[in-house]
A and B are shown apart, each in its own frame.
Chain A
Amino acid sequence: MDGDHAACEGALAAGCRFVAGYPITPSTEVVERFAQRIPLIGGVFIQMEDEIASSIAILGAVWAGRKAMTVTSGPGLSLMMEHVGLAAITETPCVFVDVQRGGPSTGLPTLPGQADMMQARWGSHGDYEPIALSPNSPQECFDLMITAFNLAEVYRVPVFFMMDEVVGHMTERVVIPDASAIEVVERRWTRKPPSEYRPYAADGDLVPEMVKAGDGYRIHITGLTHDEKGYPAMNPAGQKRMVERLVAKIRNNREKLIDVRGEHLDDAEIVVVSFGITSRVAGPAIEEARRQGLKVGHLRLVITWPFPTSVIRQLAPRVKAFVVPELNMGQMVLEVERAAAGKTRAISVPHAGGTVHEPAEILARIQEAVR
């Protein structure tokens, strides 16, 4: 099964029953499979008039009680940014799948890129903290998609599923476990009666309980700065209270939200930091370097946002350099550099996209870094 199809199956396994999308290469297979599968499962697929509509239709579906996602690629993601922000401020759990291709603009529709990483983090205006995951295989497209939906429910944030053209179109064996073996997080519905319920009142974990339209709560949900009742509170105090909580509910859980996979880190002098498809290409380069006697480790970022700052910070004082290959002109390397905070170097291995790195390019930078 290819990554696009596996991503769809992962969403279904996670309980996603509503998808709104707009055709765009190389992501369309995800929604095509959903359209094929959903009638007999029970749910809705609708092809909307554009990505703007798709990205807000899913928010409507979530407020009616469903789990929902939309699927796109770079140009579509640019259009969806409006509703990434609305999802963030209204705390609507949802998943945005981005099968990345080369950009900017129409760029390379059929060829891979990883150049939307900063857009996923910062693309919509204002302060908010999204979550992003970067699968590197069809199996992970299935497994991590379930994680993506679960994290969306736990933190009530938009979650980005950052695939790329190669992962999307790569065919590998995918093991789909029995439904009973899959952990699915359900929405945190309130048990409070309407008279006591306030949509944006949060306890210690800063994540409010949810209700859906039609249950008699008569909620008001707005994209304006709002108070605990959900009513507009457009003043510095209201803004402070709301934005600080929106940011803190993720920042306070940064350590919990670390998902990295390490290899040969114990003796590593050089650590290659990678994510998504680039981690598959970095593997052979690291093996070859180790064959040559170089002490090279591999740190793969599975959750890319929030960035695992503390992991880099711990490694930084004892490594000679981080080497960061990515299919962009240097995005996540900036985060590595920030986290390393001058304790060691962060060496970028940029690539404009359209294909993946040659392992030799990464090896060459590792060899340089050792010297």
Chain B
Amino acid sequence: MSDLLVTKGCPTETCAPAALNLQLQNPVMPYLRQERIPHIWCPGCGIGTTVNCFARALEESGLNMDKVAIVSGIGCTGRVAGYMNLDSFHTTHGRPIPFATGLKLANPELKVVVYSGDGDLFAIGGNHFFHAARRNMDIMVVCVNNHTYGMTGGQVAPTTPIGATLTTMPFGNFEDAFNLPFVADACGAVYVARWTVYHVKQLARAMKEGLAKKGFVFIEAMAPCPTLYSRRNKLGDGVDQLKYFKEKSVIKHGANTKDVGLTFQGEIVVGKFVDRERPTWLDSMNEHFAKYFGDKYQRYGGDHA
């Protein structure tokens, strides 16, 4: 088989080993806890695609993986932490952000990523999101938005567009949805982007940028939930939702986040909306105390035992 690859696909000697490696190992595998695969996600679910993008972002980030920690809440996306070959924490429903806050402040050397779903982060966990963004806590938050509560069987979420039908909105949803990038922007996030799982390259690139960015980073990754959301709303399977993402997405970098709200099967504005600088909570604390206490103050952060 290796002979075939060398002779057929790679005329030069230099590219032969690369082709061999592809056969031996998928580049994202070192970033996964391989003994925990297969995962629990349904066929056509978009969460796994976001994980693939995240693994590629980690690969390209140049970070020391021993110093990256991932924190999830509860739900389908909440299971991501358990599949990543990182220090990983699967916490309580809605609370990954305050857990991550404690982790980051207690050891500022860590790169801390929160990876959770729309219900976890914006319904039960909404308050924590607002305040971590306000404080510019130095964490990256990835929100997989599938418009519904998957783990519990497809209930209405704070991201469900009006008109979609869910088990707890059996006659169609009549509640307004959150426009997540607008919320993140308004609360003070320094980086805000939205992509869908059709945009794998862009999503991976956004995650890579997010990992390199200091401060509160928010990335919304839109993903289909074929089992519960798509089926109940007669939207076909995962592939049909990807087609929708492909056809109805419009890339508008720098778009005013006020204008990127989502509607049922309507246009999806994707892109990088916010990229700005603000001092993080820890930098502000250090600067303030250094000013207040003068030489008596020893900068907090590099002294971790």
- Chain A interface residues toward B at CB < 8 A: 18, 20, 39-40, 42-44, 46, 48-50, 52-54, 56-66, 68, 82-83, 86, 212-224, 231-232
Decide: A223 near B101, CB < 8 A? Known: A61-B106, A65-B106: no
Residues of A within 8 A of B296 (CB): 40
Establish whether residues B67 and A53, one from each chain, have CB atoms under 8 Å apart when the complex forms.
Answer: no
Establish whether residues A218 and B86, one from each chain, have CB atoms under 8 Å apart when the complex forms.
Answer: yes
**Taking CB as reference atom, which chain B residue is nearest A48?**
B98
Establish whether residues B98 and A40, one from each chain, have CB atoms under 8 Å apart when the complex forms.
Answer: no
**Taking CB as reference atom, which chain B residue is nearest A221?**
B89
The reply to whether the CB of B205 lies closer than 8 angstroms to some CB of chain A is: no
Cα A61 to Cα B304 with chains together (Å): 12
Known: A44-B105, A53-B127, A218-B65. 14 other contacts (CB 8 A): A39-B297, A56-B102, A57-B98, A57-B102, A63-B89, A64-B102, A64-B104, A65-B107, A65-B305, A214-B69, A214-B304, A221-B89, A231-B36, A231-B82
Residues of A within 8 A of B74 (CB): 223
**Taking CB as reference atom, which chain A residue is nearest B288?**
A39
**Taking CB as reference atom, which chain B residue is nearest A83?**
B92
Establish whether residues A60 and B98, one from each chain, have CB atoms under 8 Å apart when the complex forms.
Answer: yes
SS class of chain B's interface: helix, strand, loop or mixed?
helix
Establish whether residues B99 and A57, one from each chain, have CB atoms under 8 Å apart when the complex forms.
Answer: yes
Residues of B within 8 A of A219 (CB): 87-88
Please classify how large the interface on chain B is, using the bins under 10, 10 to 19, 20 to 34, 35 or more. 35 or more
Most buried by A among B67, B99, B297: B99
Cα A217 to Cα B281 with chains together (Å): 28
Establish whether residues A59 and B69, one from each chain, have CB atoms under 8 Å apart when the complex forms.
Answer: no
Establish whether residues B297 and A40, one from each chain, have CB atoms under 8 Å apart when the complex forms.
Answer: yes
Which of A49, A60, A86, A223 is the one whose CB lies under 8 Å from B102? A60
The reply to whether the CB of B303 lies closer than 8 angstroms to some CB of chain A is: yes
Residues of B within 8 A of A68 (CB): 102, 106
Establish whether residues A18 and B106, one from each chain, have CB atoms under 8 Å apart when the complex forms.
Answer: yes
Establish whether residues B102 and A61, one from each chain, have CB atoms under 8 Å apart when the complex forms.
Answer: yes
Most buried by A among B67, B71, B95, B98: B98
CB B229 to nearest CB in A, in angstroms, measures 24
Scan B223-254; emit 1 where CB is below 8 A from any A CB, else 0.
00000000000000000000000000000000
